Amino acid sequence: MAVYTIKKAEKAPLASKGVLLWLRVNLFSDVTNSLFTLLGCYFIYLIVPPLINWMIIDATWSGTKEEIINDGARWIFIFEKFDQFIYGFYPEALHWRPNLAALISIFFILSMNFISNLKIKIGLILVYPIISFVLISGGFGLEIIPTEKWGGLMLTILVAAVGIIVSFPIGIVLALGRQSKMPIVRTLCIAFIEFIRGVPLITILFMASVILPLFFHDGIEFDKLLRALIGITLFQAAYIAEVVRGGLQAIPRGQYEAADSLGLSYWQGMILIILPQALKISIPNLVGSFISLFKDTTLVLIIGLFDVLAMVSLTNSDTNWLGFEVEGYVFVTMIYWVFCFSMSQYSKSIERKYNTEH
Amino acid sequence: MSAQENMITMQKVNKWYGDFHVLKDINLTIKKGEKVVICGPSGSGKSTTIRCLNYLEKFQKGKININGTDLIDDVKVVRHIRAEVGMVFQHFNLFPHLSVLENLLLAPTWVHKKPRKEAIKTAMYYLERVKIADQADKYPNQLSGGQQQRVAIARCLCINPTIMLFDEPTSALDPEMVSEVLDVMVELADEGITMICVTHEMGFAKKVADRVIFMDAGQIIEENEPHEFFDNPQSDRLKLFLDQILSH
Ligand SMILES: Nc1ncnc2c1ncn2[C@@H]1O[C@H](COP(=O)(O)OP(=O)(O)OP(=O)(O)O)[C@@H](O)[C@H]1O
Ligand SMILES: [Mg+2]
């Protein structure tokens, strides 16, 4: 027989420190690793210094077109056309209106993090779009700006925002419908989702712009932007539905049973128990889908709307400013990247916030 | 109300999963305040039987009456029955996105429309009773299995049920936590609530049960008061079953 004394917990040994050691362990641990490290450094050397030269050191930041002497980026083109990239053909004197709407949007998004009262939250969600819409489109004493004048980054954000916000509840309802015990509801939802997912967005946009007006005969002019928004929203809703369905499937049956056994109704169970959990695990996929929507909005240019990319292409054909394509496209690239990257960071932060699985 | 009143009557209840006949002519009458333990081999239909009582499972033939209400496929009736019958599950089924307290407040505030203040008072009272009031603000995943099951029992008590169903409440627990949950259940039993418990905890059955029921292959094979049941089994199948659960 043997009896052992109980050991006290000891501190873990300190990890060895030092730059050289870190380098050896991580970058040069063996021959292959060293080879890839060197190769990687070579690529960085090939790409980064010229890029910095072009974008910053050799770039032209001010002056007129005629004064350009450096062979780096000629950012004066961007400054010159900046308003068009951002606002499209929206009257210059009224740029404060979309600006204000953007400011309100930022406050709206931030406030969602801090306000915990559900009623105020829902109130804001309902009021915010109306205020922004009136600000941009006019009415209530504000001069009305027809949607043909909307464009640029403003239009891109607007299309993406409407697509995301409106498609979200529709997608959730579709996902629930797809799981419904009622055969007709289920079949309709499946048919809708599978139809949309089987067709490219371009096709849906074309259909929205050609077919939708057929339902509104008598020559009622159906706003082009509205048609695009309907098309994009329906498209996005089908994808949201599939993402949410994935989340719903991951919720154990026991959760439904516990909700039922406590006497919660179907909708109470869904809204209070199932959806919060299903949406939480779906956040990464939802944001992924929002990001692709943000990039896909650029397809509205094929039905004649001028989003930020279309505006850049358009200004490139300005005879006064020929040959500035590169600067224009680098600029849009950066815009898209900043937005998509922010969305993915934001998603990570809410994931952390709602993480209760310790 | 007389003490002899029937709380639960099941008459010739039959259920099929597709072609599979899970419950065969289940007849069962349970009086107010009675404690009944159901045991039997895996797949014999124990869970299905008690899940019929709060309509988590539908049944195709037969009649169930709960405290005077016939259980029929009607939203209002089912809601009424579920306010009357509480259920504790093998895997606790707490809501992981809500704190312990919120888990308890859910049904009282949303289903029974109690004011939140009052609901909190009741919730804290029951958390106290299951000896876990100090964990009210934690999330379920921060608790041990035994603690979670006690929270689940408290959540059930918050709807003030007249009947409590337990489906193997201790079989997902580590051995050292079984007794803390059984203790709570014994206390509950002493207070006179009607209780049906699927369990293989024979000590518990002997201590609290008025009756023990043995099910096999979707039928009730034998029922008796606990000492006779365990010491003097009649059917061969029960004898075999008792041998098996005693021999490990
Ligand atoms: N949803 C279902 N579909 C088909 N068959 C099912 C379903 N649920 C249960 N069954 C079957 O019905 C039978 C009875 O199941 P039940 O869960 O009532 O058994 P049990 O006595 O509780 O067993 P255990 O001790 O394993 O919990 C089993 O054979 C099981 O396989
Ligand atoms: Mg079972």
pLDDT digits (tens, 9 = 90+) for A45-62: 999 999 998 888 888 888
Tell me the ligand closest to B38's alpha carbon: 1
- The protein residue whose alpha carbon is closest to atom 31 in ligand 1 is B43
Tell me the domain boundaries of chain A: 25-60+69-73, 91-144, 151-353
Q: Which residue has the higher pLDDT, A173 or A70?
A: A173
Q: How does residue A218 score in pLDDT terms, banded at 50, 70 and 90?
A: low
Q: Enumerate the residues of chain A whose CB falls inside 8 A of the CB of residue B159.
A: 262-263
More confident residue, A18 or B216: B216
Q: What is the pLDDT of residues B141-199, one digit of tens each?
A: 999 999 999 999 999 999 999 999 999 999 998 888 899 999 999 988 888 899 999 99
Q: Above 90 in pLDDT, residue A13?
A: no
Task: Count chain A–chain B contacts defined by CB atoms under 8 A.
Answer: 63
ipTM of the complex: 0.93
Chain B: residue whose CA lies nearest to A256:
B93
pLDDT of residue B58: 92
Higher local confidence (pLDDT), A260 or A216: A260
pLDDT over threshold 90, residue A265 = yes
In chain B, the residue whose alpha carbon lies closest to the alpha carbon of A353 is B97
* pTM of the predicted protein model: 0.85
Residue A281 clears pLDDT 50, i.e. is over it: yes
pLDDT at A217: 65
CATH 1.10.3720.10 fits A151-353, yes or no: yes
> B17 CB less than 6 Å from ligand 1?
yes
CA distance B205 to chain A (A): 24
- pLDDT band for position A166 (cuts 50, 70, 90): very high
CB contact B89 to A (< 8 Å):
yes
Residue B248: the pLDDT is 63
Is the CB–ligand 1 distance for residue B44 below 6 Å? yes
Asked if B73 has any chain A CB less than 8 Å from its own CB, the reply is: no
Atom of ligand 1 nearest to the CA of B198: 22
Nearest residue (CA) to ligand 1, atom 3: B17
- Judged on CB neighbours under 10 Å (0-12, 13-18, 19+), A160 is buried
pLDDT of residue A220: 62
Whether B82 sits inside 8 A of A258 (CB atoms) is no
